[in-house]
Structure 1
Amino acid sequence: MARLLTLEDGIVLTIFARQTIEHFILFNQKATFPESPSEALTEHRGVFVTLKKRHPRNEQKWELRGCIGHLQPGPDSHHQSISLLEATRQAALSSAFEDPRFPPVRADEMESILVETSVLTLPQEILTIDRGKLSDQITIGTDGLIVQGRGWHRGLLLPQVAPEQGWNAEEFLQGCCQKAGLPPSCYLDPGVKILKFQAQIFAESVPNGEIRARKF
């Protein structure tokens, strides 16, 4: 079982995610890893990097600017498992420059962007005979969801999405089905897999500011 990250680990990881993006914008190069990382940051873990930007008409709200990551990072070019730091570097670059929903992040945006890292546990399938009671096995604010089935369809929503959207467990399931490109009620289909996972979430309180562990 993967060990829990400390707050210090989360701070190092989130600072590194920001530095990765800024370094690539300035020098078109990958940032180097932090010196003497803890063992937890060298483990093989899934991670997502989320970027948020202030809403143009409401400074109290933040809107998504990019979010990409790895459930279980694949091997590197030498067929070695990549570390959490390397997975974070890849996720940060992908979130900033390769999220198909948004244009690439510009240098002048970074001072107004919040950086958040979510380090994932291994997903576990939710098994139940009565698909209508799937929501009973989901804890809002703790569990993230994955919906996969009907060919190559797959959708993932991080644990923080449901409380941020004000969703209950059923709405969370419906939202994840739609993220997979499937009808909202697809979770009732026994041929569709529903998995849940948890995450440790670390986020800047303000752009480039204090980093805190997020709890819901």
Structure 2
Amino acid sequence: MRYADSEGELAVQIACAAIEARLLARPMRPFEVPARFEEKAGAFVTINSHPEGELRGCIGYPQPFFPLAKTIEKAAEAAATDDPRFPPMQPDEWDRVTVEVSILTPPRLIEVKKPKEMPAHVTIGVDGLSIAQGSYRGILLPQVAVEENFDPADFLSQACMKAGLLADAWLDPTTRVYTFQAEVFAEVDPRGPVVRRKMEAARAGH
């Protein structure tokens, strides 16, 4: 996948423009984007309070349904005003939040003979998790496991609970577990420099 730092900066600029347009109820300014931003890809947009670093909104599309630029735009708008965990953002908050964009690889199903082998196929600091069982769905980005110091089994349990399932639902053979990877680009401060987030990778199962 590997996006250049300049492309990561563009991704964050698109997200910021979409959020600002939504907050101010005005058209979003257009962007000229490279060809790969016109290819379908999944992405998440995360909004954090600044300087506290508390989550303010996070919405995304794990599946590559839309061109990347459109995915970022739609996710950014939704993260600002449609995350059910938070009230809609107000214009006066805009200077007190930072924006982060995670560009995702397509989810890949973990196939094991025995569910208890699942943790050995999850690498902390590299993999995100997507859980599906019946109508239940849940997803956790790779950076969550690093921030919360989860081991692979913890990460699987937390992803199951995010889906509304019991923590040990990943041991149920009917539960489908997918991994994906992400390149993460984030503002250092509101509308400030954009950096590539680096995560400490741990070997699977450790």
Q: Provide TM-score, normalisation by structure 1.
A: 0.88
1:164 aligns with 2:147: yes
Please give the secondary structure, in 2, of the residue aligned with 1:139. Answer: coil
Offset of residue 73 of structure 1: 4.6
CA 134–161 in structure 1, closer or farther in 2 if over 3 Å, else same:
same
Matching of residues 73-88 of structure 1 within 5 Å? 73-74=64-65, 82-88=66-72
CA contact (8 A) 1:5 1:40 kept: no
Structure 2: tracts of 5 or more residues without a match: 200-206
CA contact (8 A) 2:185 2:194 kept: yes
Match of 1:67 among 34, 58, 61: 58
Q: In the aligned structure 2, how far is the partner of 1:206 from the partner of 1:136?
A: 37
Offset of residue 107 of structure 1: 1.1
In the other structure, the counterpart of 1:18 is 16
Match of 1:144 among 120, 128, 132: 128
Q: In the aligned structure 2, how far is the partner of 1:138 from the partner of 1:168?
A: 9
Structure 1: tracts of 5 or more residues without a match: 75-81
Letter in 1 for 2:135: W
Q: In the aligned structure 2, how far is the partner of 1:174 from the partner of 1:16?
A: 33
Q: In the aligned structure 2, how far is the partner of 1:141 from the partner of 1:209?
A: 25
CA contact (8 A) 1:97 1:103 kept: yes
Letter in 2 for 1:9: E
Q: In the aligned structure 1, how far is the partner of 2:104 from the partner of 2:60?
A: 10
Letter in 2 for 1:140: I
Which portions of structure 1, spanning 4 or more consecutive aligned residues, are displaced by more than 4 angstroms? Answer: none
Q: Provide TM-score, normalisation by structure 2.
A: 0.92
Taking every aligned residue pair, what percent have the same amino acid on both sides?
Answer: 38
Task: Kindly tell me the number of residue pairs found equivalent between the two proteins.
Answer: 199
Q: In the aligned structure 1, how far is the partner of 2:29 from the partner of 2:68?
A: 14
Match of 2:31 among 9, 29, 34: 34
CA 172–30 in structure 1, closer or farther in 2 if over 3 Å, else same:
farther
CA 30–5 in structure 1, closer or farther in 2 if over 3 Å, else same:
farther
Matching of residues 1-216 of structure 1 within 5 Å? 3-26=1-24, 28-35=25-32, 37-54=33-50, 61-74=52-65, 82-149=66-133, 151-216=134-199
In the other structure, the counterpart of 2:204 is none
Please give the secondary structure, in 2, of the residue aligned with 1:10. Answer: helix
CA RMSD of aligned residues (A): 1.3
Q: In the aligned structure 1, how far is the partner of 2:13 from the partner of 2:85?
A: 24
Offset of residue 130 of structure 1: 2.2
